[in-house]
């Protein structure tokens, strides 16, 4: 059914259809509408879930961990400082192999007190063992949230999944949304190590130096296995519902001399920059990175690469640029743009490409020190 | 692509107007996005919302710099904000006003949305509802079809007076 929805509402719609047994969440701008809408679905009876209103994000994730270990489907949503406050528990969720799904509405970190889009919040969770996908439209927010449950709960994965939406730019924009009857697309949640009162077992016991690394390796093994599960799930989604997704969304890449790589809404707007550049005779393409973890194999052979990071690792560089250079062993033109919601237009993106200097870093808008 | 910037004050329904307009455009079979610009808004402060309408999916998220049309829901905003900023030459300015307004180099039209809302007693928390009548005016201006405008209003509001107000605005929009 065709309707109009914000990114936040699209996530809530998907959650309603996935029917988690437990939702535990704490509101934070610009995520609030997600938890408001889910709470409304629960209170109206449209969604038969247990909604736990917790007193903090740390507790939200702790409650999801407790619920998930019983084998029930769980969902939460947060943003920015809320995500950071969860950090101890996000590690625990992945380590305990719990397929929790979380929507994170990407927002800058303070100070200054800034509520606008930036990816640094999610990227500070990069090494926790969560799968991370970044979406760019309201439709994709809905579709990716549905798929997140199936991927997380797959027996070869059993790791939590974070669905990332740009704060305000996507969380609050209104776009067409086509909701679907998912039927049996998401099979019932089955957690092989769920608590079973008939077969008591210990959880979270002391794990010695002779064992811990095995559990760490097991996370990595599942992370590697998740590559085929993601591909399978996205293929099946396309077959049943007609919308195709992949690790990247490639736009005019095959014959391109220069490829723009970005995540989220910037990656979508980059396509408009590509059209502009092509009219000027510059053979550009856009490769919007959707999955950051697991990090896909990118084929960039013979291409010049312009990476736009809406994030930064102080003392090193743009996080995406760093990851891409590590994988491809090639230099890129690294652009730092859009921090704290800084306005970046397709015309700006086209200008980054025209003025590219491979092997250097460029901070958009910075002409001298503050 | 047709780009519209809506000027209003916080609490006047500018964001809902954008949503209604985009929904009506979608019912016309087009693609549309509606995006409020979120700053440090509070009730009464001047705010802007953006609507893009196109025959193809819309891939732009940045703000509208060169609108084809500007809608002014509260004429007093014009004292503090340059509503013509970036408006394309010959672009259209639609003002909520009982009187004609002239803007050199641009086309303009006016309709007394506040008067229409008050006549229908469409008032919430002391403020006249402007977002449903303005969709009627926009249907008259040819931005969306009248049928889609009514359909969008009925999907979002159960009170039929909203449709009556939109019909009045359709009739009363200055040529």
Classify residue B106 by burial, with Cβ atoms within 10 Å: 0-12, 13-18, 19+: middle
Could you give the 3-state DSSP secondary structure of residue A153?
helix
B94-102, Cβ contacts within 8 angstroms, sequence gap of 24 or more: B94/B69, B94/B70, B94/B134, B94/B137, B94/B138, B94/B141, B94/B173, B96/B72, B96/B130, B96/B134, B100/B174, B101/B75
A30 vs B: CB within 8 A? yes
Alpha helices in A166-211 (DSSP H): none
CB contact under 8 A, B36 and A172: yes
Q: Domain coordinates of chain B in residue numbers?
A: 2-172
Q: How far is A101 from chain B (nearest CA, A)?
A: 26
Residues in chain B: 175
The angle that helices A138-153 and A7-18 make with each other, rounded to 10 degrees, is 30
Distance CA B85, CA B89 (A): 11
- Mutate which of A79, A166, A175 to test chain B, going by most B C-beta atoms within 10 A? A175
pLDDT of residue A204: 85
Is pLDDT of B39 > 60? yes
Q: Which residues contact A80 (CB under 8 A, 6 or more apart)?
A: A28, A105, A106, A107, A108, A109, A115, A121, A167
Is pLDDT of B97 > 60? yes
Distance CA A168, CA A115 (A): 9
A33 vs B: CB within 8 A? no
Contact between A287 and A261 (Cβ < 8 Å): yes
pLDDT of residue B36: 87
List of chain B residues whose C-beta atoms are within 8 Å of the C-beta of residue A175:
22, 32-33, 58
CB contact under 8 A, A176 and B58: no
List of chain A residues whose C-beta atoms are within 8 Å of the C-beta of residue B58:
175
Nearest-by-CA chain B residue for A349: B62
Alpha helices in chain A (DSSP H): 7-18, 32-44, 57-68, 80-95, 120-123, 138-153, 212-241, 265-279, 319-328, 346-354
Distance CA B129, CA B166 (A): 11
CB < 8 Å from B in window 145-164 of A: none
List of chain A residues whose C-beta atoms are within 8 Å of the C-beta of residue B19:
4, 174
List of chain B residues whose C-beta atoms are within 8 Å of the C-beta of residue A288:
none
A343 vs B: CB within 8 A? yes
Measure the N-to-C terminal CA separation of chain B; round to a whole number of Å: 24
Q: Which residues contact A175 (CB under 8 A, 6 or more apart)?
A: A4, A5, A7, A137, A138, A139, B22, B32, B33, B58
Tell me what the mean pLDDT of segment A218-232 comes to: 98
CATH number assigned to the domain covering B2-172: 3.40.920.10
CB contact under 8 A, A172 and B33: no
Q: How far is A270 from chain B (nearest CA, A)?
A: 8
pLDDT of residue B45: 86
Tell me what the mean pLDDT of segment A305-333 comes to: 96
User: Looking at the partner chain, which of A137, A168, A343 has a beta carbon nearest the beta carbon of B62?
Assistant: A343
φ and ψ at A367, to 5 degrees? -105, -25
Q: How far is A136 from chain B (nearest CA, A)?
A: 9
Tell me what the mean pLDDT of segment A178-190 comes to: 97
Q: Indicate if ipTM > 0.90.
A: yes
Tell me what the mean pLDDT of segment A97-106 comes to: 98
Percent of chain A with pLDDT over 70: 99
Per-chain mean pLDDT for chain A: 97
CB contact under 8 A, B35 and A173: yes
List of chain B residues whose C-beta atoms are within 8 Å of the C-beta of residue A30:
38
Percent of chain A with pLDDT over 90: 96
CB atoms within 10 A of CB A359: 11
pLDDT tens, residue by residue, B123-151: 988 889 999 999 999 999 999 999 999 99
Is pLDDT of A1 > 60? no
Percent of chain B with pLDDT over 70: 99
Structure tokens at A104: 């994170």
List of chain B residues whose C-beta atoms are within 8 Å of the C-beta of residue A337:
none
pLDDT tens, residue by residue, A44-80: 999 999 999 999 999 999 999 999 999 999 999 999 9
CB contact under 8 A, A170 and B61: yes
Distance CA A278, CA A22 (A): 49
Tell me what the mean pLDDT of segment A189-218 comes to: 94
Tell me what the mean pLDDT of segment B63-71 comes to: 97
Query: Of the given ranges (A1-5, A26-30, A49-53, B128-132), which has the lowest mean pLDDT?
Result: A1-5
Q: How far is A26 from chain B (nearest CA, A)?
A: 21
Nearest-by-CA chain A residue for B33: A175
Distance CA A317, CA A168 (A): 25
- Mutate which of A9, A174, A352 to test chain B, going by most B C-beta atoms within 10 A? A174
Chain A / chain B CB contacts < 8 angstroms:
58
Question: Binning pLDDT at 50, 70 and 90, where does residue A139 land?
Answer: very high
Contact between A30 and A79 (Cβ < 8 Å): yes
Is pLDDT of B96 > 70? yes
Query: Of the given ranges (A348-362, B53-67, B114-128), which has the lowest mean pLDDT?
Result: B114-128
| Domains defined along chain A, listed by start | 2-241 (3.40.50.970), 248-363 (3.40.50.920)
A174 vs B: CB within 8 A? yes
Q: How far is A172 from chain B (nearest CA, A)?
A: 7
pLDDT of residue A63: 98
Is pLDDT of A316 > 70? yes
pLDDT of residue A107: 98
3-state SS of A301-325 is: CCCEEEEEECCCECCCECHHHHHHH
pTM for the structure as a whole = 0.96
Residues in chain A: 370
Classify residue B124 by burial, with Cβ atoms within 10 Å: 0-12, 13-18, 19+: exposed
């Amino acid at each position: 059914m065709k309707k109009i929805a914000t990114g936040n509402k699209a996530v809530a719609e998907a959650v309603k259809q996935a029917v988690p047994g437990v939702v535990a969440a704490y509101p934070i701008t610009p995520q609030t509408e997600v938890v408001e809408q889910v709470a409304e679905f629960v209170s109206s009876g449209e969604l038969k879930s247990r909604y736990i209103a917790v007193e903090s994000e740390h507790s939200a994730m702790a409650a999801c961990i407790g619920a998930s270990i019983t084998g029930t489907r769980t969902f939460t949503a947060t943003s920015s400082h809320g995500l950071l406050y969860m950090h101890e528990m996000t590690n625990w969720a992945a380590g305990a192999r719990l397929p929790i799904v979380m929507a994170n509405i990407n927002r800058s970190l303070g100070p200054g007190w800034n509520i606008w889009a930036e990816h640094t919040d999610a990227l500070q969770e990069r090494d926790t063992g969560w799968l991370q996908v970044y979406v760019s439209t309201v439709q994709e927010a809905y579709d990716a949230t549905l798929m997140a449950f199936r991927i997380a709960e797959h027996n070869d994965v059993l790791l939590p999944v974070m669905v990332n939406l740009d704060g305000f730019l996507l969380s609050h924009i209104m776009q067409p949304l086509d909701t679907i009857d998912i039927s049996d697309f998401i099979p019932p949640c089955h957690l092989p190590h769920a608590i079973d009162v008939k077969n008591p077992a210990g959880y979270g016991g002391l794990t010695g130096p002779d064992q811990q690394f095995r559990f760490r390796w097991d996370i990595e093994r599942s992370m590697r296995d998740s590559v085929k599960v993601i591909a399978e799930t996205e293929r099946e989604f396309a077959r049943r519902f007609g919308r195709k997704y992949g690790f990247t969304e490639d736009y005019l890449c095959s014959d391109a001399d220069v490829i723009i790589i970005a995540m989220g809404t910037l990656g979508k707007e980059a396509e408009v920059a590509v059209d502009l550049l092509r009219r000027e005779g510059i053979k550009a393409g856009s490769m919007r990175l959707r999955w950051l973890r697991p990090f896909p194999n990118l084929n960039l052979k013979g291409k010049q690469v312009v990476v736009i990071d809406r994030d930064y690792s102080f003392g090193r560089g743009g996080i995406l640029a760093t990851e891409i250079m590590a994988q491809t062993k090639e230099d890129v033109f690294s652009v730092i743009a859009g921090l704290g919601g800084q306005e970046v237009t397709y015309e700006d993106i086209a200008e980054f490409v025209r003025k590219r200097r491979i092997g250097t870093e460029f901070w958009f808008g910075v002409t001298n020190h503050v | 692509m047709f780009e519209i910037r809506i000027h209003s004050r916080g609490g006047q329904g500018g964001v809902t107007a954008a949503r209604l307009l985009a929904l009506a455009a979608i019912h016309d079979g087009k693609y549309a996005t509606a995006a409020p610009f979120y700053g440090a808004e509070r009730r009464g402060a001047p705010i802007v919302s953006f609507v893009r309408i196109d025959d193809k999916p819309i891939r732009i998220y940045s703000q509208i710099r060169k609108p084809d049309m500007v809608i002014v829901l509260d004429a007093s905003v014009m004292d503090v904000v340059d509503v013509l900023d970036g408006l394309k030459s010959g672009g259209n300015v639609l003002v909520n006003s009982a009187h004609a307004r002239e803007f050199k180099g641009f086309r303009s039209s006016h309709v007394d949305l506040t008067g229409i809302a008050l006549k229908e007693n469409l008032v919430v928390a002391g403020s006249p509802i402007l977002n449903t009548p303005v969709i009627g005016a926009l249907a008259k201006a040819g931005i969306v079809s009248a049928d889609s405008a009514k359909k969008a209003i009925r999907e979002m509001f159960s009170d039929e007076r909203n449709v009556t107000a939109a019909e009045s605005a359709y009739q009363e929009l200055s040529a």
